[in-house]
Chain A
Amino acid sequence: MERIPILKMGEFVLVSIQVDMHDQLAMTLQDDLTAQIVRSRAKGVLIDISALEIVDSFIGRMLGNIASMARVLDAETVVVGMRPAVAITLVELGMALPGVKTALNVERGMELLRATLGTPVETGRAPAESPNGHPQN
């Protein structure tokens, strides 16, 4: 059966939706993600929808369900990369995606997750000192 791959990245899981999902595929993804959160004890879930050309009430509901289920399993969800036309349409449709955090792209989504979870950021953006003792930037 067709499935959307889920990547494990440290304490996060990442899924990038690249196809126009039919309803069963969306349901399968919801189940697979829930199972993966449990299996990998993930603390954060990133869902990249930058390739999605529409989000209708069904897919919107799926995103909301994933976020609620993840929360029960003590994980935070961030939906990243929603296209502006999709966002405009979703609002008019009446779906505000309550309880779903969003970010511009995967990188920002990671930052948001780390900030929410209080995990130190280990990139050069941190205000920490460089190895030779001089402040960066």
Chain B
Amino acid sequence: MGILRTEKLAVDSADDIVRVRQVVRAWAIERRFSLVDQTKLVTAASELARNMLLYAGGGTVELESLEEQGRHGLRLTFEDHGPGIADIGLAMKDGYTTGSGLGLGLGGAKRLVNEFDIQSRPGVGTSIRIARWR
């Protein structure tokens, strides 16, 4: 699998969430994703970036443009050094929130992409990697 391009963005403020949405959108357009696929990936990215800001005080997003057997995809890795998630299964459940949200971000983001991988260790941080293929 070839990685054609990478970029890393910091998420430290609400403005950075907007910036993540814009950059992911630009990459998805460049990869010639359909409008619906662009929208799904940007929405998933918005959810995960906001989670990092709200629950971990910030983090980073790494974008990777992929090519595999003629297929084009985008992979996004959200990494933070926040409190981590003790029970991932519970956190993934729709409706589960420790904040004031609806508890839809994690489960929703998973439904919006083709690949979703979450690693988290309490006290160490959380890493969520998603990919969407064209």
A-to-B contact residues, CB < 8 Å: 20-24, 53-58, 60-61, 83-86, 88-89, 92-95
Contacts and interface: CB of A to CB of B under 8 A. Distances in A.
Nearest to B95: A94
Chain B residues touching A, range: 20 to 34
The main secondary structure of chain B at its interface with chain A is helix
Contacts of A95: 102, 104, 108
A57 B101 CA distance: 8
Contacts, number: 70
A94 B21 contact: no
B118 to A, nearest CB: 17
Interface of B: 14-15, 17-18, 21-22, 25, 35-36, 38-40, 42-43, 46-47, 50, 94, 101-102, 104-105, 107-108, 111-112
Most chain B beta-carbon contacts within 10 A, residue among A23, A24, A95 = A23
Contacts of B101: 57-58, 61
Contacts of B21: 20, 54
Contact of B14 (A22, A53, A83, A85): A22
A58 to B, nearest CB: 6
A99 to B, nearest CB: 13
B111 A93 contact: yes
B39 A54 contact: yes
A70 B15 CA distance: 28
13 contacts: A20-B18, A20-B22, A22-B14, A24-B14, A53-B25, A54-B42, A56-B46, A58-B101, A61-B101, A89-B39, A89-B43, A94-B108, A95-B108
